[in-house]
Structure 1
């Protein structure tokens, strides 16, 4: 079993370089990818659409897709999604983005919780993803 931490090129560096975007565990003919929580930021680290949970969700999954792609995976490889929301009233907007991106049945396993706040002012949600890559691909 091989394990490594990675910050893929093409994805903005984590805040203060305090963590890795992805932990990869290569297992036989596949790999498990555990992504750090992602918030909706632009390439300079500024929050995108502070008052729009749907727009933030779209940006978050764009970042997630880029991290996954760097490891040979796609949103179709997502096994579990964990979401932290500052207001569960944003669930319909978030859910609409999720339904569009994860149309397969059944969708990935999921956990969603409301939290009092996130580390970045204006961030309405943070999303963690676990994905499985069926065959080991360069990453």
Structure 2
């Protein structure tokens, strides 16, 4: 069985994508690609990679909270970056990472699903012992 979680306060498109999927018995949760939407679905930080990364981090924090997890529970992330340049990496990863940082892959891409988005991040989370990903 797979549980799908759509926490309050995290704008999404539940008819198209689940924010979080938690397969029973694996102790893992999968967070769908997060972009720089605010709670109302407005773009935050248009044109600014670091500002968008910070908003994505806030969204991920809310999703982690719904799972009873924290940033240090992220075991793998994939970061997609439009118009990637090496000098952007510290600002982007600095906004996203807790300590210690997770295993991470950064991929430069031509575009994401809408032109205003510069960053998208998906994560795999190890659920803390005894947690099943159902806190709200």
TM-score (norm 1): 0.85
Shift in alpha-carbon separation, 1:137–1:96, aligned structure 2, 3 A = closer
Aligned-pair RMSD on alpha carbons? 1.7
Aligned residue runs from structure 1 range 3-82, under 5 A? 3-12=2-11, 14-15=12-13, 17-27=15-25, 31-82=27-78
Please tell me whether the aligned partners of residues 85 and 114 of structure 1 are also in contact (alpha carbons under 8 angstroms): yes
Distance between the aligned counterparts of 2:127 and 2:62, measured in 1?
Answer: 15
**In structure 2, distance between residues paired with 1:64 and 1:23:** 14
SS at match of 1:42: coil
Q: Indicate the SS of the match to 1:88.
A: coil
Contact preservation (8 Å) 2:30, 2:124? yes
Pair 60,42 (structure 1): closer, same or farther in 2 beyond 3 Å: same
Structure 1 residue 16 displacement after superposition: 6.2
Distance 2:117 2:130 in 1: 34
Q: 1:10 to 1:43 in 2, by over 3 A?
A: closer
Answer whether contact 2:77 2:124 (CA < 8 A) is retained.
Answer: yes
* Partner of residue 124 from structure 2, selected from 103, 126, 130: 130
Aligned length: 131
Structure 2: give runs of 5+ residues left out of the alignment.
Answer: none
The aligned residue for residue 112 of structure 2 is 118
Could you say what secondary structure the match of 2:124 adopts? strand
